[in-house]
């Protein structure tokens, strides 16, 4: 009898670990809450840019993804966080995010490589809109206040960081929110 294979909820990301940037993001989260809307804020320790969400996949496929990630090539680069935005639109806000200025082309190049690597493993190609999620919207009580905040920070640079790794992460869902663990880290190489 064959046992059930373990399923792992996983994604590939660039993690944000710079304390100054994380402080700025938490200040932005406080400003969001002050608009009177209801949010589920992303935990400080969970802030990242998702390059590819893989979903719930068998452990054997995770191992194949790890092998594929050995092909990933990129140089260390500077990434700037710039401006606030929302998904899917200002008239129906579900997610509030910080965008990327400098470094966006490098992120897109990594994403194109990931689409190729993952495509060979049966994953469908995905579009990519580089962003860091600050909050998910639970209830909109003052759209006007939220839009004012978005306009206030339109095009504003919040700081930058060096991207020195890409990580394959496991996401464990708990009643208190997701817990992320690094499965594999890929360092820059040309």
Total length of the chain: 190
CA angle 93, 96, 101 (to 5 degrees): 130
Report the Cα 162 to chain-centroid distance in Å: 16
As a whole number of angstroms, the distance between CA 147 and CA 59 comes to: 43
As given in the structure block, the two tokens for residue 121 are 């493993």
Q: Which of 29, 48, 93, 96 is catalytic?
A: 48
Catalytic residue at 111? no
CB 50 within 8 A of CB 13: yes
Could you give the residue ranges of the DSSP H alpha helices within the chain? 19-34, 59-69, 104-119, 143-152
Q: Tell me the three state secondary structure of residue 23.
A: helix
Q: Which of 74, 15, 81 is nearest to 48 (CA)?
A: 15
The neighbouring-strand residues paired with 169 are 11, 182
Looking up tokens 């399923």, which residue turns up? 7
Selected catalytic residue, list 52, 82, 111, 131: 131
Residue 48 designated active-site: yes
Positions marked active-site: 48, 131
């Amino acid at each position: 009898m064959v046992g059930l294979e373990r399923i792992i909820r996983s994604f590939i990301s660039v993690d944000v670990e710079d304390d100054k940037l994380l402080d700025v993001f938490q200040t932005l989260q406080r400003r969001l809450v002050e608009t009177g809307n209801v949010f589920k804020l992303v935990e400080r320790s969970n802030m990242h840019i998702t390059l590819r969400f893989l979903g719930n996949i068998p452990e054997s496929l995770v191992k194949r993804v790890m092998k594929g990630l050995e092909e990933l090539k990129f140089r260390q680069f500077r990434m700037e966080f710039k401006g606030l935005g929302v998904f899917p639109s200002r008239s129906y806000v579900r997610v509030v995010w910080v965008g990327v200025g400098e470094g966006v082309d490098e992120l897109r190049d990594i994403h194109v490589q990931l689409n190729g690597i993952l495509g060979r493993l049966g994953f469908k190609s995905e579009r990519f809109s580089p962003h860091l999620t600050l909050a998910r919207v639970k209830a909109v009580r003052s759209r006007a206040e939220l839009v004012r905040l978005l306009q206030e920070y339109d095009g504003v640079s919040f700081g930058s960081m060096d991207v020195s790794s890409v990580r394959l992460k496991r996401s464990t869902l708990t009643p208190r929110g997701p817990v992320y663990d690094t499965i594999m880290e890929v360092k820059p190489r040309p």
